[in-house]
């Protein structure tokens, strides 16, 4: 994977962009961080944030024109802008014991001359001296300060200069006019001689971008070049970095992000933010007290977009920004175990791929697409976790083989119920087909749309499955496909080019069938895969309303019930959190049109019914076990084959199918939780009994195991007197037992 | 290791003994002492081990 491949998914995300106030600031001060610290009363840390960016905090807080206030987003709410200069002054006042910054760096040998001891020259001199370069400052005047010396507050500014330069070994040559010849001895020269000062004939070739000129290693800035005082200080700080780059590489270039124009705020709606009046200091001359400064700083809204990170359970849990995630996913693709580890494996496989984030994001960034891409990459490079998806891939294989059926002959429409509806509501599947057949010339394809392969990242399996569906569909003369599952519709739409798709519910709504009423009022829970399919949504609602049900729209519709992306084995706790939360979004029973949503909500004891239960009744049907689901698929196939072709179908008999096995409640729960089928248990017992490959416990208990490719099942059972077996518990592990050590 | 007291190999009829066994997962191989039949070498993993320490290590390797 290349960096641009992972980052293309999040290129529009503006989470990393600075706030609009920071963009307006000539120094680019991170005001979000500064104000957060001030609001918490962390004055020393707050001061460091200020000093490290604005260089001379006292000068800047006193003289800056505070363009940040014009850009403050409080104004968009009708409030006054934050009083940032006063908060800065309070911060300086409450952190007076904070000394100059000191860095344990080795001394450098390069010499730099600064011409002009005004604020612009001093700013550059300070930056270089902190990095231990040999700095000499020349000024024709008798001391530092430039034109600030005439300011009434100069004594305060002088203290600020002294405070920042404390302990730094800089040579100041006052009352000295620097000559070009003596400056030639220096490795770099910065001319900040002030308005009307000497430019050594270089001003004409001056480049504003990096303050350089035609003479290599010579730079110009400050009021000499028409900069304001603040621009001069900011330029001096930047130039100290540019000069260091020049000394190290010979090029005065910095790798920096492009300057922002408006910042993050123009994309924010400040939803949920209340108005807050500005804090007026009780004593105007003294300025803010600590509590006043904290309160005023706390008016900062933080102006950051984290809608995906607060609205999606997965992103909220891991608290990684989209940029960080894309970087981690790129890093994971280049991991070389055991020398480096992956950072985002579990997160990648814990995404429901429901596109909720895309709806939450003001610019439509879809993190699921990034996770889906990563899953494909991990599969391709065998960096996936097989146990996370193995069960569903085996189900897909079953549905593409024994469970697959395509009716013979050509037709105008073909009903594609999808494997989950067939397995979960077999009777409703058959009745839907019969009703369609009665009204329109309809064929049938039983099979899987390939979602398990897509969710696992297995492109080869996905394509093989789709090829099979395509062949069957083409043999029927490319009929309109009637889908009962929104995921199937979505998958076919993306992968079966040229196919016309229609929702079964749209057709049923037009057929006006007799209806039943499982409950009188319901909240309509759209499956996440339905996306913006309003026609399907309207048809389901219309059918339920015709049945006499009052249907409420969910405020936060189209969110995943928890099933999407098959996250259950990757992060069970998150899966439970999501599904339980979704089950509580309305007091009303849920009307669903996805077999998976129905099962999930039923398992969470939420009253719900599939729309087909309004059409064909039987809303009291529970959740079939994993084994029953397989049998249901075979049953539907057999019934249809009998009807259409007068042929019967049954699964190839295996010797363990003949075993009579009863399960304890504990075993049943464990099997459902760990996705262990009855036939897995039967095969385990059969092999154990046949080969005496079991362990014995006291009181006749037996323990047997059976290792599949990616999971090993263990079964604790007893032989009963009538030749049957009773299973008391089941468990499994993913680790492989290789063998005994010598 | 309390299981070794009560659990016997069905085929050999002998009690299990703590044995060094090699495991592998997610491309990593490592050794651990678990009960096994001293005669035929069949390894026993208790529910406690599978759902406790083993699950923890599985998660650790999956995250790497």
Q: Grade residue A304 by pLDDT with cuts at 50, 70 and 90.
A: confident
pLDDT of residue B3 exceeding 60, the answer is: no
Testing the interface with A: which of B15, B50, B53, B60 to mutate, by most A Cβ within 10 A? B50
Give the β-pairing of A661-663 and A608-610. Answer: unpaired
CB contact under 8 A, A734 and B44: no
Query: Residue A392: what pLDDT?
Result: 97
Pick the range with the lowest mean pLDDT from A267-276, A328-337, B34-43. A267-276
- Contact flag A737-B51 (C-beta cutoff 8 Å): no
Amino acid A390: pLDDT: 95
Give the Cα separation of A539 and A487 in Å (integer). Answer: 17
Whether B4 shows a pLDDT value over 50: the answer reads no
Q: A734 contacts in B (CB within 8 Å)?
A: 25, 58
Q: Are strands A736-740 and A405-406 parallel, antiparallel or unpaired?
A: unpaired
Asked whether residue A256 carries a pLDDT value surpassing 70, the answer given is no
**DSSP, residue by residue, A574-628:** HHHHHHHHHHTS-SSPEEES-HHHHHHHHHTT--EEEHHHHHH--TT--PPPHHH
Beta-bridge partners for A717: A702, A727
Residue B64 to residue A337, Cβ atoms within 8 A = yes
Contact B63 A712 (CB under 8 A): no
Q: Please state, in angstroms and rounded to a whole number, the distance separating the CA atoms of residues A724 and A612.
A: 38
What is residue A260's predicted lDDT score, i.e. its pLDDT? 65
A729's torsion region: left (phi>0), alpha (psi -120 to 50) or beta? beta
Which among A397, A403, A404, A414 is positioned nearest to A475, based on CA atoms? A414
Are the beta carbons of A703 and B7 separated by less than 8 Å? yes
Q: Is the pLDDT of residue A679 over 70?
A: yes
A684 pLDDT above the threshold of 70: yes
The pLDDT of residue A16: 85
Has residue A37 got a pLDDT over 80? yes
Which tens digit of pLDDT belongs to each residue from A335-391? 887 777 889 999 999 999 999 999 999 999 999 999 999 999 999 998 899 999 999
B23, B42, B57 ranked by CB distance to A736: nearest? B23
A338–B22 C-beta distance less than 8 A: no
Region A512-535: mean pLDDT is: 91
| Rounded average pLDDT over A47-55 | 94
Q: How far apart are CA A672 and CA A626, in angstroms?
A: 7
**Which residue, A429, A395, A426, A446, is CA-closest to A624?**
A426
Dump pLDDT digits (tens) for A585-626. Answer: 999 999 999 999 999 999 999 999 999 999 999 877 889 999
The backbone region for A675, taken as left when phi is positive above 0, alpha when psi lies in -120 to 50, beta otherwise, is left
Q: Is the peptide bond prior to A338 cis by the omega test (within 30 degrees of 0)?
A: yes
According to the CATH classification, is domain A111-245 in 3.90.320.10? no
pLDDT given at position A157: 96
> How many domains is chain B built from?
1
Q: Are B14 and A695 in contact (CB under 8 A)?
A: no
Residue A17, phi then psi, degrees to nearest 5: -70, 145
Mean pLDDT score, B21-48: 94
**pLDDT at residue B49 in the model:** 96
Residue A616: CB atoms within 10 Å:
23
For the residues A134-162, what does the mean pLDDT come to?
A: 94
Q: Tokens standing for A511?
A: 């057929």
Query: Using an 8 Å Cβ cutoff, are A419 and A395 in contact?
Result: yes
Spatial separation of the C-alpha atoms in residues B30 and B27, rounded to whole Å: 10
Of A99-113, A277-291, A652-666, B42-56, the least confident: A99-113
Give the closest residue to B45 by CA, choosing from B10, B1, B15, B5.
Answer: B1
Does A345 sit within 8 Å of B25, measured CB to CB?
Answer: no
B18: domain CATH number is 3.10.20
In the predicted model, is pLDDT for residue A67 greater than 50?
Answer: yes
The answer to whether the CB of A479 falls within 8 A of the CB of A443 is yes
For A268-303, letters b (16+ CB in 10 Å) and e give: beeeebeebeebebeeeeebbbeebbbebbebbbeb
Closest residue in chain B to residue A698, using alpha carbons only: B6
Give this prediction's pTM.
Answer: 0.84
Is the pLDDT at B2 greater than 60, yes or no?
no
Using DSSP's 3-state secondary structure scheme, residue A140 falls into coil
pLDDT surpassing 60 at residue B5: no
Cα(A631)–Cα(A391) distance, rounded to whole angstroms?
17
Spell out the residues 6+ positions from residue A157 whose beta carbon is closer than 8 angstroms to its own.
Answer: A56, A58, A59, A62, A145, A148, A151
User: Which among A345, A692, A738 is the nearest to B62, CB-wise?
Assistant: A345
User: From the candidates A570, A691, A695, which should be mutated to test the interface with B, based on the most B CB atoms within 10 A?
Assistant: A695
Q: Cβ–Cβ contacts within 10 Å for residue A60, how many?
A: 27
CATH class given for the domain over A655-733: alpha beta
Closest partner residue to B43 (CB to CB) among A338, A385, A737 is: A737
The string of pLDDT tens digits covering residues A414-437 is 999 999 999 999 999 999 999 999
Give the mean model confidence (pLDDT) for residues B35-45: 96
Interface test with B, best of A336, A737, A742 (most B CBs within 10 A): A737
Query: Using one digit for the tens of pLDDT, what is the confidence trace for A553-570?
Result: 998 777 899 999 999 999
Q: Do A692 and B10 touch (CB under 8 A)?
A: yes
Orientation of helix A572-583 relative to helix A595-603, angle to 10°: 90
Mean pLDDT of A136-151: 94
Chain A, window 650-689: residues with a beta carbon less than 8 angstroms from a chain B beta carbon: 688
A682: left (phi over 0), alpha (psi -120 to 50) or beta: alpha
pLDDT at A97 over 80: no
Q: List all residues 6 or more positions away from B25 whose beta carbon is below 8 Å from its beta carbon.
A: A734, A735, A736, B57, B58, B61
Helix or strand or coil: residue A46? helix
Q: Over the stretch A430-486, which tens digit does the pLDDT of each residue have? A: 999 999 999 888 999 999 999 999 999 999 999 999 999 999 999 999 999 999 999
- Confirm or reject contact between A338 and chain B (CB < 8 A): yes
Task: Compute the C-alpha angle A655/A660/A662, nearest 5°.
Answer: 135
Q: Where are the domains of chain A?
A: 3-11+306-384, 20-98+268-297, 111-245, 388-631, 655-733
- B8, B20, B24 ranked by CB distance to A736: nearest: B24
Beta strand pairing call for A725-733 and A712-719: antiparallel
DSSP string for residues in A146-188: GGGGGSTTHHHHHHHHHHHHTT---EEEET----HHHHTTSSE
d(CA A190, CA A183): 10
Which residue in chain A has the smallest CA separation from B3? A697
With cut-offs at 50, 70 and 90, classify the pLDDT of residue B1: very low
Are A342 and B6 an interchain contact pair (Cβ–Cβ within 8 Å)? no
Q: Least CA distance to A729: which residue of chain B?
A: B47
Shortest distance between the Cα of B64 and any Cα of chain A, in A, equals 5
Q: What per-residue confidence (pLDDT) applies to A259? A: 58
| Residue pointed to by tokens 């899966």 | A575
Q: b/e map of A637-653 (b: 16 or more CB within 10 Å)? A: bbbbbeebeeeebebee
The strand order across the sheet containing B8-9 reads A661-663, A725-733, A712-719, A702-707, A695-696, B8-9
Q: Is A326 exposed, middle or buried (0-12, 13-18, 19+ CB in 10 A)?
A: buried
| Model pLDDT, residue A261 | 62
Mean pLDDT of chain A: 93
| Sequence-ordered list of residues with C-beta below 8 angstroms from that of A629, at least 6 positions apart, any chain | A423, A424
Scanning every residue of chain B, which has its alpha carbon at the shortest distance from the alpha carbon of A734? B58
Both tokens assigned to A240: 């100290």
- Which tokens is A27 given? 């120094």
Q: A264 falls in which pLDDT band (50, 70, 90)?
A: low
Instruction: Please give the helix or strand (H or E) that residue A61 lies within, else none.
Output: helix A57-63
Percentage of the residues of chain A whose pLDDT score is greater than 70: 98
Distance (Å, rounded) from C-alpha B21 to C-alpha A709?
Answer: 19
Residue B19's CB: how many other CB atoms inside 10 A? 18
Lowest mean pLDDT across A249-253, A310-314, A322-326: A249-253
Across chain B, mean pLDDT equals 90
Between the alpha carbon of residue A219 and those of residues A208, A225, A256, the distances in Å are 10, 11, 19
State the best of B2, B7, B10, B59 to mutate against chain A, taking most chain A CBs within 10 Å: B10
Tokens representing A141?
């005047």
Q: Which of B 2-41 lie inside 8 A of A, CB atoms?
A: 6-11, 16, 19-29, 31, 36, 41
Residues of A in contact with B64 (CB under 8 A): 337, 341-342, 345
CB contact under 8 A, B44 and A698: no
Residue A169, pLDDT above cutoff 90: no
Domain of B18, in residue numbers? 3-63
What's the rounded Cα separation, in Å, for the pair A175 and A165? 20
**For chains A and B, what is the number of CB pairs under 8 angstroms?**
95
The whole-number average pLDDT for the span A274-285 is 94
């Amino acid at each position: 994977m290349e960096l641009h491949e992972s980052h293309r998914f999040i290129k529009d995300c503006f989470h990393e962009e600075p706030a609009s106030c920071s963009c307006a600031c000539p120094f680019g001060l991170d005001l979000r961080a500064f104000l957060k610290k001030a609001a918490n009363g962390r004055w020393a840390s707050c001061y460091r944030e200020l000093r490290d960016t604005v260089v001379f905090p006292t000068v800047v807080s006193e003289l800056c024109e505070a363009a940040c206030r014009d850009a403050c987003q409080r104004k968009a709410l009708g409030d006054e802008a934050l009083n940032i200069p006063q908060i800065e002054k309070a911060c300086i006042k409450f952190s007076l014991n904070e000394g100059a910054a000191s860095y344990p760096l080795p001394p450098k040998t390069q010499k730099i001359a600064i011409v002009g001891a005004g604020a612009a020259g001093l700013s550059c001199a300070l930056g270089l001296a902190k990095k231990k370069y040999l700095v000499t400052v020349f000024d024709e005047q008798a001391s530092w300060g430039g034109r600030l010396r005439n300011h009434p507050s100069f004594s305060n500014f002088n203290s600020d200069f002294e405070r920042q330069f404390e302990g730094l070994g800089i040579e100041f040559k006052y009352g000295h006019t620097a000559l070009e010849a003596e400056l030639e001895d220096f490795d770099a020269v910065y001319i900040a001689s002030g308005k009307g000062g000497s430019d050594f004939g270089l001003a004409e070739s001056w480049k504003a971008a990096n303050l350089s000129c035609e003479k290599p290693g010579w730079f110009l800035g400050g009021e000499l070049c028409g900069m304001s005082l603040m621009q001069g200080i900011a330029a001096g700080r930047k130039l100290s970095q540019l000069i260091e780059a020049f000394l190290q590489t010979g090029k005065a270039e910095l790798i920096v992000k492009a300057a922002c124009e408006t910042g993050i705020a123009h994309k924010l709606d400040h939803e949920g933010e209340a108005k807050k009046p500005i804090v007026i200091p009780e004593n105007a001359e003294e300025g803010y007290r600590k509590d006043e400064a904290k309160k005023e700083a706390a008016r900062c809204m933080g102006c950051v977009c984290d809608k995906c990170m607060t609205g999606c359970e997965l992103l909220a849990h891991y608290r990684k920004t989209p940029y960080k995630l894309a970087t981690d996913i790129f890093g994971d693709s280049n991991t070389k175990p055991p020398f480096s580890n992956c950072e985002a494996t579990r997160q990648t496989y814990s995404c429901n791929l429901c596109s909720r984030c895309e709806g939450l994001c003001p610019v439509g960034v879809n993190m699921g697409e990034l996770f889906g891409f990563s899953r494909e990459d991990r599969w391709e490079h065998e960096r996936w976790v097989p146990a996370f998806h193995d069960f569903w891939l085996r189900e897909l294989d079953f549905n593409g083989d024994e469970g697959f059926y395509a009716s013979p002959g050509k037709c105008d429409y073909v009903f594609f119920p999808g494997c989950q509806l067939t397995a979960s509501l077999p009777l409703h599947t058959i009745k839907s087909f019969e009703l369609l057949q009665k009204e329109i010339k309809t064929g049938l394809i039983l099979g899987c749309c390939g979602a398990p392969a897509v969710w696992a990242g297995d492109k080869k399996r996905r394509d093989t499955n789709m090829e099979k569906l395509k062949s069957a569909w083409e043999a029927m003369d490319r009929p309109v496909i009637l889908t009962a599952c929104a995921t199937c519709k979505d998958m076919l739409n993306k992968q079966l080019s040229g196919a016309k798709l229609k929702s079964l519910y749209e057709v049923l709504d037009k057929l006006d069938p007799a209806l039943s009423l499982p409950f009188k009022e319901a909240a309509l829970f759209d499956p996440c895969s339905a996306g913006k399919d309003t026609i399907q949504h309207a048809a389901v609602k219309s059918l339920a309303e015709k049945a006499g049900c009052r249907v409420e729209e969910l405020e936060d519709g189209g969110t995943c019930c928890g099933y999407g992306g098959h996250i259950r084995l990757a992060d069970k706790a998150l899966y439970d959190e999501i599904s339980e939360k979704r089950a509580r979004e309305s007091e009303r029973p849920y009307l669903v049109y996805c077999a998976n949503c129905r099962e999930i909500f039923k398992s969470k004891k939420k009253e719900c019914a599939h729309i087909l239960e309004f059409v064909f009744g039987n809303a009291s049907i529970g959740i079939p076990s994993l084994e029953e689901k397989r049998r249901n698929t075979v049953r539907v196939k057999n019934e249809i084959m009998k009807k259409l072709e007068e042929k019967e179908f049954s699964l190839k008999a295996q010797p363990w199918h003949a075993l009579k096995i009863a399960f304890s409640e504990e075993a049943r729960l464990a099997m459902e939780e760990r996705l262990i089928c009855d036939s897995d248990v039967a095969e385990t017992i059969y092999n154990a009994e046949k080969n005496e490959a079991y362990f014995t416990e006291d009181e006749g208990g037996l323990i047997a195991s059976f290792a599949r490719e990616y999971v090993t099942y263990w079964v604790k059972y007893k032989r009963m007197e009538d030749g049957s077996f009773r299973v008391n518990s089941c468990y499994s592990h993913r680790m492989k037992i290789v063998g005994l050590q010598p | 290791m309390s299981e070794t007291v009560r659990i016997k190999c069905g085929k050999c009829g002998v009690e299990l003994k703590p044995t060094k066994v090699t495991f592998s997962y997610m491309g990593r191989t490592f050794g651990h002492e678990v009960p096994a039949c001293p005669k035929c070498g069949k390894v026993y993993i208790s529910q406690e081990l599978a759902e406790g320490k083993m699950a923890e290590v599985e998660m650790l390797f999956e995250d790497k």
